[in-house]
Amino acid sequence: MTESRYGDVSVTLEDYVAQVEIHRPPHNFFDVQLIRDLAQAFNALDSDSACRVSVLSAEGKSFCAGANFANRAATGVEPGTAKGNPLYSEAVRLFSCKKPLVAAVQGPAIGGGLGLALVADFRVVSPEARFAANFVKIGIHPGFGLTYTLPRLIGYQRANLMFLTGRRITGEEALAWGLADLLVEPERLRAESSQLAAEIAENAPLAVVSTRATVCRGLAETVKAQTDIEFVEQDWLMRTADHREGIKAVAERRPGKFIGK
C-alpha cells in the first residue's frame, strides 16, 4: 500500500484501486485550493500505472455541501471578477482526468458539491444521501458545469425540476432517476464502492482508459465552455439584493423573501 497527501485530500493505493478522501468534516465545503488538490491527486494517479481506478469519498456528515461562502474570496467567486474563475479552471482539470472514478456519497451533495459528485463515472450512495442544485434558493445561477452534466445524466426535464425548484432528492430518488448507480446501507457504502472499483480494475487497463475516453469525448471541453457561461451569469447575480437575501435566508433556515432586484 502507498499513501500520499495533497492538502486536505489523502490518497491510498492498493491492488490497483486508489482511495481518495476529502478531509474537511463535517460538511466538506470546498474552495479553489481543495479542488486544486483533488485535481493534482487525480493527475498524479493518471500517471501511476499502479492505479487503474479511484474511489472518491469524504470524511464527515456530508459528501460536499458546496462552496465555502463564509470565505468567498477563497472560492474564486467574488462578484465583479468576470474575467474568469480559477475554481472552474480547476474543476475542468477534474473532468480531464483519464481513469475511472467511483464516488461514495454518504450524505448531502449540495450545489457545487453535486457538481463534484458528477465528475465521477459512478455514484454509490446511502439512503442518507441528498442531492440538490439549490442555486436559485441563494439567488444565483448553477455552476460547476451542472447545466451540462446534470441534464446529460438524468435528462432535461428532471434536471430542470432540480434547477428551478432547488428541491433535495433522496438517495432512493437518485437511484430511480439514474443519478445514483447503487443504493447501499451506510455501513456498506465504502466496501460496495471499492467492490465496484475492483470490478473495473480487474479488466485490461489500456482498454478501460481507451473506452472511457471515447465515451467521454469532448466532456472537458464542453464543461469548460459551460462554466464560462455559468460564471458570467453568477457574476452579475451575486451583486443582487436577492443573492444577499438568499445567503441570509439559508443561514437562518427560512424561505427567502426575494424582490427580483
Which range has the worst mean pLDDT, 1-10, 67-76, 90-99, 135-144? 67-76
Give the gyration radius of the chain's Cα atoms: 18
Q: pLDDT value at position 216?
A: 97
Q: Got the DSSP string for 141-191?
A: ---TTHHHHHHHHH-HHHHHHHHHH---EEHHHHHHHTS-SEE--GGGHHH
pLDDT at 78 over 80: no
Q: What is the CATH number of the domain that holds 121?
A: 3.90.226.10
Is 58 strand, coil or helix? Answer: strand
Model confidence at 1, in pLDDT bands (50, 70, 90)? confident
For residue 2, what are the β-bridge partners?
A: 13
pLDDT at 75 over 70: no
What single-letter DSSP state applies at residue 113? H
236 domain residue, yes or no? no
For the stretch 85-98, pLDDT in tens is 899 999 999 999 99
209 domain residue, yes or no? no
Which residues have C-beta within 8 Å of that of residue 228, sequence separation ≥ 6?
A: 84, 88
Residues in the chain: 261
47 domain residue, yes or no? yes
* pTM (2 d.p.): 0.94
Model confidence at 165, in pLDDT bands (50, 70, 90)? very high
62 domain residue, yes or no? yes
Please state, rounded to an integer, the average pLDDT across all residues of the chain: 94
Query: Residue 188 and residue 159: Cα distance in Å, rounded?
Result: 29
Q: pLDDT value at position 81?
A: 52
For the stretch 19-60, pLDDT in tens is 999 999 999 999 999 999 999 999 999 999 999 999 999 999
Considering its fold, how many domains does the chain have in total? 1
pLDDT at 18 over 90: yes
Query: Residue 210 and residue 207: Cα distance in Å, rounded?
Result: 5
Which residues have C-beta within 8 Å of that of residue 122, sequence separation ≥ 6?
A: 100, 101, 102, 103, 181, 182, 196
Percent of the chain past pLDDT 90, that is, above it, reads 92
| Percentage helix, strand, coil for the chain under 3-state DSSP, each rounded to 5 | 50, 15, 35
Q: pLDDT value at position 79?
A: 54
Alpha-carbon torsion, ordered 174, 175, 180, 184, to 10 deg? 110
Determine whether 133 is exposed, middle or buried from the number of CB atoms within 10 Å of its CB (0-12, 13-18, 19+): buried
222 domain residue, yes or no? no
Model confidence at 235, in pLDDT bands (50, 70, 90)? very high
For the stretch 168-219, pLDDT in tens is 999 999 999 999 999 999 999 999 999 999 999 999 999 999 999 999 999 9
Which residues constitute the domain of residue 20?
A: 2-187
82 domain residue, yes or no? yes
Which range has the worst mean pLDDT, 72-86, 102-116, 164-178, 232-246? 72-86
235 domain residue, yes or no? no
pLDDT at 80 over 70: no
Q: In the structure grid, which three cell numbers stand for residue 43, read together?
A: 493527475
What mean pLDDT do residues 221-236 have? 96
8 domain residue, yes or no? yes
Q: pLDDT value at position 68?
A: 83
Residue 4 — φ and ψ, nearest 5°?
A: -150, 165
Q: In the structure grid, which three cell numbers stand for residue 80, read together?
A: 465583479
